[in-house]
Structure 1
Amino acid sequence: MTDRWYQVFRRVRYALAWLIIALVSAWPPVAAETGPSCPVAALTDAVGFHVDLGDHACAHEDDSRALTLADMLAPEGAARMAPVAGGLVDFGFGASRYWVSVRLRNATDTAGTWWITHDIPAATMLRVHLVPDGGGADAAQTLLALTNRDRFGARPIPHRHLVSEIALQPDETAMLVVEYTTDQATEMPFFAETVAQFFERTQTETVQIAALTALILGMGLISTVYLYGLDGRPALAYGAYMLAGVALLVHLEGYAFQYVWPNAPGFNQAALPIIGTLLVVLGLFFVDRFTLARNHAPRLHMLVLFGMGLLLLLGVLSTVMIQLVWFKNLILLAIGLGTILQAVLAVLALRRGQSGAAFLVLGFGALAAAIIFGVVGYLTEGLFEQEYVGMALRLAFLFEAAAFSVAIALRVRAARRERDLALNEQLRLSEERLSLSEALRRAEDDRQRAANAALRSREALATAAHDIRQPLASMQLALTAGEAPQDRIASCLQYLEEIVRAGLDDNSAPLGTGEADPPSRYAQERFEAGIVLKNIEAMFGAEAARQGVALRVVGCGSHLVADPLALMRIVGNLVSNALRHAEPRRILVGCRRRPQAMSFEVHDDGQGIGQADLERLSLRGEKGTGSDGHGLGLAIVGDLADENGFQFGIASVPGRGTVARIEVPVLGRAWRPAPGETRKANSA
């Protein structure tokens, strides 16, 4: 709360305190002087008969508490009695003994019985006497004699109100004298009615009170449940606050002593200030939590904490100090200020625009008005009956429960709206994160594709470099030997050009594009198988002769549909491997016609190799012992065979040689391995 509002609150508080003090000082007390005699109250047996005895009563305040019944029945005692001002028996707060008398007459022709209500719920002592007309103290009949130590069962008529029964003969007159002391309010409702009327009235009151109390309790519990779904602590505080309010109503009406603690008269005497202070404390705690005063008005929040502590202290001290008049006034003042502070918190929440704060202001405002109404009634004697305070409190609690239900409903709806907005924002952020994740995934895919393309390009370059070596070696041998036929050199150059195109040009596009698969680069065409074999003989003949190896190439006139360059590179790698690593004496290259394929075979009688080493050497980069190659020959053969739909097999026996076989579909029907199947070497 800002300094400006804090100063306003202080001024309002001081003005209210001075107003209460002025009312207490200026209100006229009950007249104690000798005045006109009190009229006789005529009792009848009419249906619905009810008479307010306060209009017929005389009263006296005995400051010394020394007067007895005999003293009050004596002529000088009767002279002390004065008519009750305003017809309401009320002396304000005081420690005196109070005497109230009224003359009653049976105005019927038959004997009658009436019940007299003289309810002092917190009386420390109460005696009711019926004195025959003209009789003295020795002829008096004591109808009721109770103290604050008596349990509820000590009442002759077990009812929440203190009631005495009188019986009068036809036209009989008698004086009813009530003497009492109390540590709390001195107001005494005082009326007579027939027994039937008493039960009809009290039953109607009970039904009304029970219905209102049940309605308040039900609305409070429902609101508590709704609020608990929003925030647990304010909900529990509100639930406890509503229970304290119901307990206050039940106690004020006398039901608590009758049903809840009938055997605890001591607690019944102190229950009102305890429940009242606890009610305001719980209300402050609830509104402080509900309006988030700790965050929005820290100074007012500290004032609330101080007020709660002070009220709790006063409630505890009331058990031993309630008989002191100044202490009673202090408790009433603290309760009044506490209810005003509740309304102030609600007003500040309304100024902040908090959802439901307007109904919070209405609820606390109604309750504050009812409580202040009761406080003024306690502080000013004879102003109005406390029954009106009870009715005002019941209506205020009912209105407050309804207003709080609406306030809590609005707060829950606002919280749900905020939650929906938060969920939508969270969904938006999640979508953004998902989009970012998707973008990152695509970037990672692109990076992986680029890496794969780069790896594929490096492998293609390595393969091309490996295949280029053989035609270059053939040309070098031809030129070194001084024999350089033009057709042989042209054939080598053409082969080099095809290798460069297949290995370099066709693999340049994926570099940097991120494409996962290279473009198709192996064009099939129909050609004679012998062309491949002739090129092999021209390419490797000189090198074989230089090494002393008998290279025999068997011609073939059959035709097939395939990629001639790929087939040339496969057979060339097989022959090159045999010359370089097998240490053979003879190499035989030829082809065989099969039903669905043309089989190209390379036989050598070299040193051979074991099956385990053969499978290892089929992997890219794996070299044999003592080899100066790059470990690419068999890997290149296998890759080219897979890419072109050829079936490649190799078998070798250590010490006897090796047979490599390539089966090419004669009509270009590409063979592809089934999913999960790997390329296997054929047995010899």
Structure 2
Amino acid sequence: MRQAALRAAWLAIGLFMSAPACAAPVVLEAEHKEIRLHEGIEVLEDAQRRLQATDFSALPPASFHKLPGEHHSYGYSGSAFWARAEIGNPGAGGADWFLVYKQVAIDRIQVFLGRADGTWREIAPYGAETAHELFGGLRYPAFHLSLAGGERATVLVRIENSSPIRFPLVMQEFHDFFKQDRVGRMWAGLALVIPLVVAIYMLFLWGAMRDHSLLLYIGFQLSVMVASAWISGYLAEILPMLPRRTLAEIGVVAFNLSYFFGLLHARAFMQLPRRQPVLARAVLFAAPLFLLVIGIEFVQPTAARLITVAGAIGVVLFVFGTSLAAWYRRLPHAAIYAAAWASLLPGVASIIGSRLGWIDHGAVTVAQLAAGVMSSLIFGIALAGQIRLREARAQTVMAQGRLLAAAHHDLRQPLQSLGIFIELMRGEADQPAQVRTLAGRMEAAYGSLTDFLDGLLELSRAADGQHEPKLVRLRVNDVLAPLVAEYRRLAAAVGLELRYVPCAGWIESDPRLLERILRNILANAVRYTQRGRILVGCRRCGDRLAIEVCDTGPGIAERDQERMFDTFFQGAEAQNSRAGFGLGLAIVKQLALRMGHEICLRSVEGRGSCFRVLVPRPSLKER
């Protein structure tokens, strides 16, 4: 043992003394299962991409410079980079090692082995014979190197990359390499199965509930899973037949799709169209920009990856901050949703740290997989809580509907009798004036109570689904024009101007139910607007048409806007005027939900309100 150690030390010194042009050789000793090469690496930039392995014997020693640090990054560069290292086998027998490039974001890598006789041989990536088989690949590019006893060799590594240039090169002992690869594959597979199970569970929920926001979450979760599979190297194991450049493109596409679906899902989860319409429009504008980045990846991959990293920071911080603000406004489960996005921050931070050369790729892999698992579980908790809350509300609405229907049935007949008695009182010609006045007041009260019961019945029918919508294609003007003509006369009677901008657009809706929605909104506008005007018009919003009714009324306080569509809720102005019972907008909401339409409210206290009904537009072929 002592003689072997002395022989190894002598050989190492001899190797160092015989190669002054290079850094000290790396001694491959069997007791070291993994040897990092950063201390023995020298780097050369090939800006013209013309150098060959055989050219290096003629280059002066000053052409190379020592690698500054283990995690040093040369940034985004269009050049090819070469790394040189000396390795030696001090033992008497042969040694089998793997040269491993521990980073998955690589477009092209070549490895050359130079022998003492001056010959160079390019080493093929290990596993090339199984590259056509699923799960036949390796997480990282690896090259099998065999050295005879006492042999010294030079390793040249050539890299071209659209991602930052780094040299995370290690030598791994033959058997330990396969052991680590099996362990890494097992943990990566386990970490990716959990988000997949959550996504499948959400898919079943979508099949039962037909909630489109669940589809957005499923798209987000699957995109994160594919991106994590790429960054962990698991995608290279599954699809070894694809070049590393193609795998990188898949990873970048997955990252940008996750931003796209994540923003849209956050918009739906936090109810931004209803609570913060300006922010909702900003999200709707920003999300498709990440689809544009996908196109840039195939033209200018370096620029696309810079935008992708910046997008990761921006999206995670934006949604996290917005979720906290929604939690402050008491949105249910917003705190859990914020925690889910916060769990993605370590993964984002690890990518930034890797790009800056602060941490190695192994830490990035662990952070990405951990973030994917944690976020999927926390997202699942948030969505499950929101679904339970929605189901509880639906059960409450159904119970209210049954109660309202029973109340209407029990009270309707006595009210009819009361109406007959009032008519008899008013029909008597010889009644005193005081009796006739009281009869008139009783008739007004009777009409108000009848309207209230009719509203209860309408609300119960909408909640129980008795208004089964029959969606047809129609011109929006066919619904709006008669309504505007009717309410223009009512508005003029109270000194208001009702303006209508005709619209020739086509929509897909139930004309009977849509008329009821717009009639309730117009009635409120005429009832609560004291002076000024009412404007009715339409505008396109993507694949939908927005029907808007805006007024110059008193407006609605911000604290009341979230509850305006609740049953029996009335804003301050309605309470002061003692008009209505707080049923009209509740009916509007139920009918809109029944047809799959969206109702939005924008209001500024003291300036007026604007109600928007978003209705699907049929395609040109369907019109």
TM-score, normalization: structure 1? 0.54
Alignment-mate amino acid for residue 351 of structure 1: Y
> Residue 320 of structure 1: SS of its match in structure 2?
coil
Q: Deviations over 1:316-345 (max 9, x none)?
A: 1211111xx445323322332122222233
Aligned residue type for 2:309: L
Closer, same or farther in 2 for the Cα pair 1:42/1:153, shift >3 Å? farther
Aligned to 2:195: 216
2:91 aligned with 1:108 = yes
1:571 alignment counterpart? none
- Report the counterpart of residue 342 of structure 1 in structure 2: 319
The aligned residue for residue 331 of structure 1 is 308
Q: What residue is the counterpart of 1:644 in the other structure? A: none
Write out aligned runs for 1:230-249 (5 A).
232-249=211-228
1:144 matches 2:124: yes
Output the amino acid matched with 2:98. Answer: W
Helix, strand or coil: the match of 1:87? coil
Question: Cα offset for 1:119?
Answer: 4.8
1:200 Cα deviation (Å)?
Answer: 0.6
2:373 is aligned to: 398
3-state secondary structure, aligned to 1:191: strand
Are 1:413 and 2:396 counterparts? no
* Cα deviation, residue 218, structure 1: 1.1
CA contact (8 A) 2:113 2:156 kept: yes
Aligned CA distance change for structure 1 residues 43 and 264 (closer, same or farther; 3 Å) = closer
For residues 376-422 of structure 1, what are the alpha-carbon distances to aligned partners after superposition, in whole Å with 9 as ceiling and x for unaligned?
Answer: 532x2x22113322221111111111111211122122223322332
Whole-Å Cα distance in 2 between the matches of residues 361 and 228 of structure 1? 26
Contact kept? 1:115, 1:166, Cα under 8 Å: yes
Matched, 1:99 2:82: yes
Question: What do residues 512-536 of structure 1 show as CA deviations (whole Å, max 9, x unaligned)?
Answer: xxxxxxxxxxxxxxxxxxxxxxxxx
Structure 1 residues 264-343: aligned runs within 5 Å = 267-322=246-301, 325-343=302-320
Deviation at 1:361, TM superposition (A): 0.3
8 Å CA contact 1:343, 1:368 repeated in 2: no
Give 1:428's match in structure 2, choosing from 395, 403, 412. Answer: 403
Shift of 1:114: 1.0
For the pair 1:357 / 2:327, whether they are aligned, the reply is no
Counterpart in the other structure of 2:12:
none
Query: 2: distance between equivalents of 1:266 and 1:330?
Result: 18
* 1:170 paired to 2:149: yes
Relative to structure 2, which stretch is displaced further, 81-90 or 108-117? Answer: 81-90
Provide the residue aligned with 2:611 in structure 1.
none
Matches of 1:124 and 1:276 in 2, distance apart? Answer: 17
Conserved 8 A contact 2:228-2:372: no
Alignment check: 8 A CA contact 1:151 1:265 kept? no
Pairs within 5 Å for 1:177-576? 177-226=156-205, 229=208, 232-260=211-239, 262-263=241-242, 267-322=246-301, 325-378=302-355, 380=356, 382-437=357-412, 439=414
Among all aligned residue pairs of Structure 1 and Structure 2, give the percentage whose two residues are the same amino acid. Answer: 16
Within the alignment, does 1:131 sit opposite 2:114 as a pair?
yes
1:115–1:198 CA contact under 8 A, matched in 2:
yes
Does structure 2 retain, via aligned residues, the 8 Å contact 1:106–1:170? yes
- Letter in structure 2 aligned against 1:92: G
Please report how far the alpha carbon of residue 221 of structure 1 lies from its aligned counterpart in structure 2 after TM superposition: 2.7
Change beyond 3 A, Cα 1:188–1:217: farther
Q: Which amino acid aligns with 1:338?
A: V
Q: Indicate the SS of the match to 1:184.
A: coil
Seen in structure 2, the aligned counterparts of structure 1 residues 90 and 326 have a Cα distance that, compared at 3 Å, is: same
Shift of 1:124: 4.0
Note closer, same or farther for the CA distance 1:58–1:265 as it changes in structure 2 (3 Å cut).
closer
Match in the other structure for 1:70: 54
Question: By how many angstroms is 1:211 displaced?
Answer: 0.6
Q: Contact 2:102 / 2:361 at 8 angstroms: preserved in 1? A: no
- Aligned-pair Cα RMSD in Å: 3.2
Distance of 1:71 and 1:264 partners within structure 2: 27
Task: Check 1:174–1:161 CA distance in 2 against 1; reply closer, same or farther (3 A cut).
Answer: same
- CA contact 1:120–1:186 (8 Å) conserved in 2: no
Matched-pair contact (CA < 8 Å) for 1:126–1:178: yes
In 2, are the aligned partners of 1:152 and 1:158 still within 8 Å (CA)?
Answer: yes
1:256–1:262 Cα contact (<8 Å) kept? no
Amino acid at match of 2:148: Q
The amino acid of 2:323's aligned partner reads: A
Shift of the 125–416 alpha-carbon distance from structure 1 to 2, 3 Å rule, reads closer
Distance 1:232 1:261 in 2: 37
Cα distance change, pair 202–350 in 1 and its aligned pair in 2 (3 A):
same
Contact 1:91 1:187 in 2 (8 A): yes
Is 1:45 the equivalent of 2:30?
A: yes
Q: Distance in 2 between matches of 1:123 and 1:338?
A: 25
SS of the residue 2:124 aligns to:
strand
* 1:231 positional shift: 5.6
Structure 1 CA distance for aligned equivalents of residues 74 and 363 of structure 2: 17
Structure 1 unaligned blocks of 5 or more: 1-34, 448-684
- Equivalent residues, number: 400
**Change in CA separation of 1:36 and 1:99 when aligned onto 2, cut-off 3 Å:** same
2 CA distance for matches of 1:175 and 1:181? 20
Any idea what the Cα deviations from partners look like across 1:538-578, whole Å, max 9, x if unmatched?
A: xxxxxxxxxxxxxxxxxxxxxxxxxxxxxxxxxxxxxxxxx
SS at match of 1:246: helix
Separation (CA, whole Å) in 2 of partners of 1:69 and 1:250 = 34
TM-score, L = length of structure 2: 0.59
Check the 8 A contact 2:346/2:368 in 1, yes or no.
no
What's the offset of the Cα at 1:435? Answer: 2.3
Q: Is the 8 A contact 2:37 2:169 kept in 1?
A: yes
d(CA) in 2 for partners of 1:158, 1:231: 39
Give the structure with higher Rg (CA): 1
Post-superposition CA distance 1:454-512 (Å, at most 9, x none)? xxxxxxxxxxxxxxxxxxxxxxxxxxxxxxxxxxxxxxxxxxxxxxxxxxxxxxxxxxx
CA distance in 2, matches of 1:158, 1:348: 45
- The residue aligned with 2:38 is 54
Please state how far the C-alpha of 1:278 moved relative to its aligned partner.
0.8
Q: Taking structure 1 as reference, are residues 224 and 344 closer, same or farther at Cα in structure 2, changes over 3 Å only?
A: farther
